[in-house]
Structure 1
């Protein structure tokens, strides 16, 4: 079970004496006026994904378990599909406490916590064994510690967004030469923008809630995302081919506002961490199972799949200053932790 992340015990866990003193200070009429079924604490949990995506179905299950385990003391309401704003808007809201919980791609979190982007280094992880070795190990802890230096912190294990692949409405991408000049949407994430610029594409940072319309109106030719996102947002309707590049792996950090969580009693904090970790494991299994079935489903909807040899892309990157530039940015400690599983980069 994940311990309360990166906050000191004094700042995060109110003492029993303080809790009792606070309760004693409340006028009796105030206590009696609170409806018997009203929650003591109410949180908003925002995501950018479609309601059917595993991050939302598993988050809702965690919310239901938390409500039951706390006897209704903590009521969390889920707001999927960017209902409360774009990803960049929501990042600001969780920082200032307007939203208490928010799941965000490590790539986009990198705009606020630069080190977060290291988990999606171009062509670094060859498979899920390497991903979980790194993210449940020293590299993941290093990133979590960096996030905790800000007004937010990570609430659970990192969730799975999946390996990202390139789709197109105009061309098939199978070699580094095929991607030259390719106009493609990327999230507002420096690591991805620099990756595709380095191999000659023309990336355009666009928020997720504008992705479908940008493809539909051919502002861009293509985009890159995991298969679960391609399916749940129906991108196959405006794309013809999918190249299985697996160019980066991406995860979702479940982020919490420190001030909001400091107000929760220690027992509720522990329940939240426990149940979100449980759902993180379930969601990872969901994505793994979906990966193969989605290829069949999406092919049936008209999306043509193409296998890709990733090694020429990694060599193309190594021939540029891409890896050296990011190593300088992230520092030798973080880079050494990454290369424990990725092997030598550059």
Structure 2
């Protein structure tokens, strides 16, 4: 009898706990839960529910379970989902100034990158998104620096890129970047890149290590140059209507959880890069099918000098002052 009574009390407590959630926040993303982005989203869910005392029920949907890559932005605007974290390139049509992140060699290293994101420049760029009313920029998450790869010849000096067909994302900056070194940029959906490299439709590409390795591009590219010339990241955005519906204390809970989730995501991204680099070095050693090239500071300077010509072409679009602020950030 005692067990039955205790069971009834436990069930009643669980039911009450379920009723305690005053708000439901759906979080959608398109990658695996095991990725840095996926881990951070799950951590965010846990922390919001803890900090809010269960008043906010966060539901995370990974792997495009709820919305695909091309649908999630529209779903956010309609408040069908309350939080998403698309790649920065998805926002350039909303705020052309976001193309700053595509500029080659604008970030000296990870510390400089994070100082730009978390400082005045990052705040200005977020405000451009916030002006659109239906979405609010929360924070920047990390996918890593991009590197050159090729199946033709090692890409060491700028002249090595001449005549190569480079796969790029749709971006005027990336187009100008490869034209500056005599390359032939080709816009292709990411899902088609492996077969395009395999069949010789394109010769070369640029990717962070995670994309290069998980999509097995190392199987169809013979050279990887650790150039860190470009950057790929995410912007975490929330539906403004949902945010405004929350009382101040719950908004503070979400902001705190987001701050902690951002720290975790960036840390996980660096850890993943280190693991992948080791795996690629092992693959290169075991198969002799991949050459990994590290550029010297002098070689990087050659690239920077040639690609500096790209910047003035986007002063009107991105803002000369904003570009200079990013470069000058300590």
Measured against the shorter chain, the TM-score band is 0.7 to 0.9
Equivalent pairs counted in the alignment come to: 305
Judging changes above 3 Å, is the alpha-carbon distance between structure 1 residues 119 and 59 closer, same or farther for their aligned structure 2 residues?
Answer: same
Q: CA deviation at 1:209?
A: 4.0
Does the residue aligned with 1:252 lie in a helix, a strand or coil?
strand
Taking structure 2 as the reference length, the TM-score comes to: 0.82
Judging changes above 3 Å, is the alpha-carbon distance between structure 1 residues 87 and 194 closer, same or farther for their aligned structure 2 residues?
Answer: farther
Determine whether 1:304 maps to 2:291.
yes
Contact 2:99–2:318 under 8 Å retained in 1? no
Cα shift readout 1:39-81 (whole Å, capped 9, x = no counterpart): 4333332223333221111221111221233333323333334
* Structure 1, unpaired ranges of 5+: 1-34
Does the residue aligned with 1:324 lie in a helix, a strand or coil?
helix
Counterpart of 2:9 in structure 1 is: none
Contact 2:28–2:66 under 8 Å retained in 1? yes
Aligned residue runs from structure 1 range 1-346, under 5 A: 36=16, 37=18, 39-150=21-132, 151-156=134-139, 158-302=140-284, 303-308=290-295, 309-318=299-308, 320=309, 322-341=310-329
**Could you tell me how far apart the structure 2 residues matched to 1:43 and 1:116 are?**
26
Q: CA deviation at 1:289?
A: 3.2
Contact 1:87–1:207 under 8 Å retained in 2? no
**Could you tell me how far apart the structure 2 residues matched to 1:44 and 1:272 are?**
13
Judging changes above 3 Å, is the alpha-carbon distance between structure 1 residues 223 and 332 closer, same or farther for their aligned structure 2 residues?
Answer: closer
Cα shift readout 1:184-230 (whole Å, capped 9, x = no counterpart): 22223332233223322222233334444444454433321211232
Taking structure 1 as the reference length, the TM-score comes to: 0.79
Q: CA deviation at 1:286?
A: 2.2
Judging changes above 3 Å, is the alpha-carbon distance between structure 1 residues 210 and 339 closer, same or farther for their aligned structure 2 residues?
Answer: same
Q: CA deviation at 1:136?
A: 1.4
Cα RMSD over matched residues? 2.4
Cα shift readout 1:281-321 (whole Å, capped 9, x = no counterpart): 12212223333332121222344311122211121123x4x
Counterpart of 1:9 in structure 2 is: none
Judging changes above 3 Å, is the alpha-carbon distance between structure 1 residues 287 and 255 closer, same or farther for their aligned structure 2 residues?
Answer: same
Contact 1:169–1:238 under 8 Å retained in 2? yes
Structure having the larger proportion of residues in helix: 2
Q: CA deviation at 1:139?
A: 0.9
Contact 1:52–1:232 under 8 Å retained in 2? no
Does the residue aligned with 1:111 lie in a helix, a strand or coil?
coil
Does the residue aligned with 1:123 lie in a helix, a strand or coil?
coil
**Could you tell me how far apart the structure 1 residues matched to 2:49 and 2:60 are?**
13
* Structure 2, unpaired ranges of 5+: 1-14, 285-289
